[in-house]
Amino acid sequence: MKPASRSLHDYGQLQRAIMLMIMLGGTYYWSLARYHTGPILSETEYGPFILSFSAEFWSIPLALGGAVHLLAQVVNGDPRLKPWITPAVRLLASIVVAGNMIMFSYGGLLAPVWGPFFAYTFMGAVLVLWFAFLAAGDFVRGLGSASMG
């Protein structure tokens, strides 16, 4: 049974590179939040919506979602797994990461001072949503091949 993940064949390197950057960035901010005793974010720069959640709320989904997406790419095509499992894991991980990034961008719109990094975060979320769309196609293809074989 061959893997259903056609999108990894076409765009796998791009997905790996972007998810690796997201994972490393999320891990960096997570470690900053864990070991920094003072306030990390200023209210005038980030606004009350973003500050109403802990820094871990913003960083853990990026770190773990990116890592799970990368893991699903690595084990893709393993003959012991059903062909729809790794696309389903990639789909869920992409939705978690994109949702987190969209919420952060929305919070940036409510901030008193608008910074361009909110727009960059939203552009990254659009890319990750594209990864979710690709994973959804692979998931449907995997369900089809699982029911045939």
Q: What is the pLDDT of residues 44-54, one digit of tens each?
A: 777 888 888 88
pLDDT at residue number 148: 65
- Do 66 and 30 touch, CB atoms closer than 8 A? no
Q: What is the pLDDT of residues 113-148, one digit of tens each?
A: 777 788 888 999 999 999 999 999 999 998 887 666
Q: Whole-prediction pTM value?
A: 0.87
- Do 33 and 54 touch, CB atoms closer than 8 A? yes
Q: Is 42 left (phi over 0), alpha (psi -120 to 50) or beta?
A: beta
143: Cα separation from own chain's centroid: 23
DSSP secondary structure letters along 66-95: HHHHHHHHHSTT-TTS-TTHHHHHHHHHHH
Of 85, 29, 77, 89, which Cα lies nearest the Cα of 57? 29
